[in-house]
Amino acid sequence: GDSVTQTEGLVTLTKGLPVMLNCTYQTTYSPFLFWYVQHLNEAPKLLLKSSTDNKRTEHQGFYATLHKSSSSFHLQKSSVQLSDSALYFCALSDPANSGTYQRFGTGTKLQVVP
């Protein structure tokens, strides 16, 4: 079945450093990939999404590129801020199948310290 893997449970970084949160997936179809962010005591919300191979998509300083050859959609930012501390979820769906729903990874907690 379809699955999303986020290998890091917790990433701790100093403010101003770059970050990459890993997301890989397994599926038999051409997928749509999503990143959601959840701040403490808040609802998860969409950060960015893509279905185009090898095209960088950006939002709020974060960016990700879908690489179908390696089944990856890693989330990056060049300089993290304290306000980026949150839980980040990667998700996968089949855009051609209206009968399906998004599958989520287990999430990566990003902790930015001064």
Footprint on this chain of another protein (rule: CB under 8 A): 32, 34, 36, 38, 41-46, 49, 51, 89, 91, 93-102, 104-107
Residue labelled with tokens 């990939």: 33
Least distance (Å) from another protein to the CB of residue 24?
15
Least distance (Å) from another protein to the CB of residue 73?
14
Q: Which residue's CB is nearer to another protein, number 19 or number 33?
A: 33
Least distance (Å) from another protein to the CB of residue 21?
14
Rg of the chain, C-alpha, whole Å? 14
What's the DSSP call for residue 67?
A: B
Contact 22, 8 (CB under 8 A): yes
SS3 assignment, position 109: strand
Q: Which residue's CB is nearer to another protein, number 78 or number 100?
A: 100
Q: Which residue's CB is nearer to another protein, number 91 or number 110?
A: 91
Q: Which residue's CB is nearer to another protein, number 30 or number 78?
A: 30
Least distance (Å) from another protein to the CB of residue 35?
11
**Other Cβ atoms closer than 10 A to 25:** 21
What's the DSSP call for residue 72?
A: B
d(C-alpha 3, C-alpha 24), whole Å: 9
